[in-house]
Structures are given as C-alpha cells and as structure tokens.
Amino acid sequence: MAYGYNWDGANWVPSDKSTVIYNTNNKIEKIDIEDWNGSGWVIADRDLYVYDSNNNLVLETYESWDTTTSTWNEQEKIEYTVVNGNRTSEKTTYASTTFIENYVYDTSKLMSEFIHPFKDKTGLEYIIEGIPYYNKLLSTNSSSNRTAYNYNSAITLSQESFKLTETKINIFPNPTQGNLTIESSGSTINAIELYSVLGAKVFSTKDTHFNIDFLNRGVYFLNLHTTEGHTISRKIIKN
C-alpha cells in the first residue's frame, strides 16, 4: 500500500492511497486508488493488468469511478505485443486517439549481456513490467518520435559483478489536476519536455515543479533530460 501527500504550506496532508492486489502467479493484477476527501477515503481510479501464459504483460487498463452511475469508465488502454520474450509494440488508446510505438532489436545479442543504458524504471512500474526485452533493444519508434539506445559505453557482463548507479525518478501527484513535482536521485534533470499521445510537444521547462492547468485532460509523456546526456521517459495523466 502506498500513500500520497500534498504540502498545504504548513503540513503534509493525505491526497491519495494505492492498494496493490496480486494474482495467483504473484503478478500485480490490480491497483485500487482512493482519494482523501478531508474526512475519509473515497474510490477514485484503478489500474488493471492482464498477462499471457508466460507472465508477460499484454494489457494495461486505467479506469475511473463515476459516482453518479456507480460504474467504472475506461480512460486509457495500453495493449502490448510480446514475441519470443521481446515486447515488439505497444498501442495506447485514449478516447478516440491511438498512439502506436514499435520496438527494434538486434536478435543476435541478448539483453542479459549488457547493463543497458535505459534501465530507468523504478517502483511499481518496474515490478509490473520488469524488463520485457530478451534481445538487445536498438530503438523504439512511432509516427512522430524515435528513440535510439546507445551501447557504446555499456558494460558487457561476464562473471564479474558490476554496480551501476541508477537514476530514481519520483513524479507526483500522478494523475494530476495541474501541479507536478519531479524528484530525482543519481542524476540532475536540466530539461523537461511534455508530449501529447500524438507526439506533439505541448510544454517544456527547466523547473522540476510546474503547473499544466492549461492542458486538456488526457495522457501525456514526459521526457526528462539529465546533465549526463540521458533521457528518461515517463507517462502522466492529467485529470
């Protein structure tokens, strides 16, 4: 169980609570999210996860609770395609908008041979998704964006043990109604870019605390650029 808090100028006050539920294979199948209304916890949102027979994540659904009709309404759906242990594509659907990202691999190399340069997932995201790449991931691309991974300085693993300093990123609150704070350890963020699901840049800043009240409700993607030259991507939801 995880709790979120907001600073009211004098005290930290509760904002949301997440309860993680596991399936019989010890994989996360649901995260229930409740909001604090000032006197108690109320149902707000939930994330649902579906896996294939090999325990690969194949479907992630975000739903919100409608207090008027007492029903769950789908807000976002992400469908993952996994082939031979590699995530080959993901399709994000929000309202009537679809965003597709494809993955390119070097099938002659195993990802396990490298301390790879994009291992930036932490917390529940890492627990849920793991590292769904059996072979060496070269790039991800969509109709408007492309990310290529540079292994020139990557360490090739042998029987020795190497320790790699990882960047830990915390973005809160997420979902957000406008305010966002980004905390990082291990690296310094010097530029932030926000993209729509269609790949259009809608905001950029160098501040790690900012407001996006002006944006419409929906799913957005944050690109966080560090002083070491790395780019870390995160998904946020604007309520």
- With a cut of 50, say whether residue 160 has pLDDT above it: no
From the centroid of its chain, how far is CA 116?
Answer: 18
Same domain, 79 and 2: yes
| Residue 95 to residue 45: CA distance in whole angstroms | 16
Q: Are residues 88 and 7 in the same domain?
A: yes
Q: Please state, in angstroms and rounded to a whole number, the distance separating the CA atoms of residues 77 and 23.
A: 20
Q: Which two tokens stand for residue 237?
A: 């939801």
Q: Residue 155: pLDDT above 70?
A: no
- At 102 the pLDDT is 94
- Can you tell me the distance from the alpha carbon of 51 to that of 80, in angstroms, rounded to the nearest whole number? 10
In terms of domains, do 119 and 5 share one?
yes
Q: Which of 120, 146, 163 represents a domain boundary (last residue)?
A: 163
The span from the first CA to the last CA of the chain, in angstroms, equals: 22
Question: CA–CA separation, 134 vs 50, rounded Å?
Answer: 20
Residue 189: CATH number of its domain: 2.60.40.1930
**Based on the structure, what is the number of domains in the chain?**
2
Domain range for 48 is: 1-163
What is the pLDDT averaged over residues 14-41?
90
DSSP reduced 3-state for 57: strand
pLDDT at 198 over 60: yes
Last residue of a domain, one of 114, 134, 163: 163
Do residues 48 and 153 share a domain? Answer: yes
**Same domain (yes/no): 211, 112:** no
9 and 121 co-located in one domain: yes
The answer to whether residues 69 and 177 belong to one domain is no
Asked if 33 and 90 sit in the same domain, the reply is: yes
Say yes or no: 112 and 217 in one domain: no
Q: What percent of the chain has pLDDT over 90?
A: 34
Return the residue matching tokens 């070491």: 228
Say if residue 229's pLDDT is above 70. Answer: yes
Q: How many CB atoms lie within 10 A of CB 55?
A: 12
Is the pLDDT at 6 greater than 70? The verdict is yes
**Highest mean pLDDT: which range of 52-56, 158-162, 232-236:** 52-56
Helices (H), the chain: 123-129
State the pTM of this model.
Answer: 0.61
39: left (phi over 0), alpha (psi -120 to 50) or beta: alpha
pLDDT tens figures, 109-150: 887 776 555 544 555 565 666 678 888 888 888 877 778 776
Percentage of the chain exceeding pLDDT 70:
84
Same-domain pairing of 148 and 190? no
Same domain, 185 and 131: no
Q: Among the three residues 163, 186, 214, which one is the final residue of a domain in this structure? A: 163
